[in-house]
Amino acid sequence: MNYSIVVLPSFFLKVKKLAKKYQKIKYDLAELNKELKNNPKAGIPLQYNCYKIRVVNSSVPTGKSGGFRVVYYIIDKNNKIYLLSIYSKTQKENLSDGELLELLKLNGLDRWANIYNQNLKCFRYLSQNSNNTQDFHLYLWV
């Protein structure tokens, strides 16, 4: 499946700030682009169909563990990956659930996140209370 990557304003502004300190960030993001196109779900799953992936910071020789974190959102139905945010691991440890939801709202993606969460809750309920796997398909992406 071929996914297109959409850079959102929130992501672009953070990259612009980071580029002042880390001059090789554009090369690091080019590698991320290739990785996400090959495997859109390569990152660690977060809530609301968002993922967080580690990216090497080639401006500082620390590898992925001390590099950047990119938070992105996937809409499988539209084959789109939305880049939400990027931060340096040295500047921020983690992104809270509230911050994640705020990023989605800021970029107008909270509607999709709410639909995803509702479907996920239905799926979990059905998987616990039903023996018929065909029931699952009735509730997914209604």
140: pLDDT strictly greater than 60: no
- Give the per-residue SS3 of the chain: CCCEEEECHHHHHHHHHHHHHCCCHHHHHHHHHHHHHHCCCCCEECCCCEEEEEECCCCCCCCCCCCEEEEEEEEHHHCEEEEEEEEECCCCCCCCHHHHHHHHHHCCCHHHHHHHHHHHHHHHHHHHHCCCCHHHHHHCCC
pLDDT in tens, 101-120: 888 888 888 765 555 444 44
What is the model's pTM?
A: 0.75
Higher pLDDT, 75 or 46: 46
**Confidence class of residue 68 from pLDDT cuts 50, 70 and 90?**
very high
pLDDT of residue 114: 55
Distance CA 67, CA 115 (A): 32
pLDDT of residue 132: 46
**Confidence class of residue 134 from pLDDT cuts 50, 70 and 90?**
very low
**Confidence class of residue 1 from pLDDT cuts 50, 70 and 90?**
low
pLDDT in tens, 10-22: 899 999 999 999 9
Residue of 93, 90, 87, 58 lying closest to 72 (CA atoms): 87
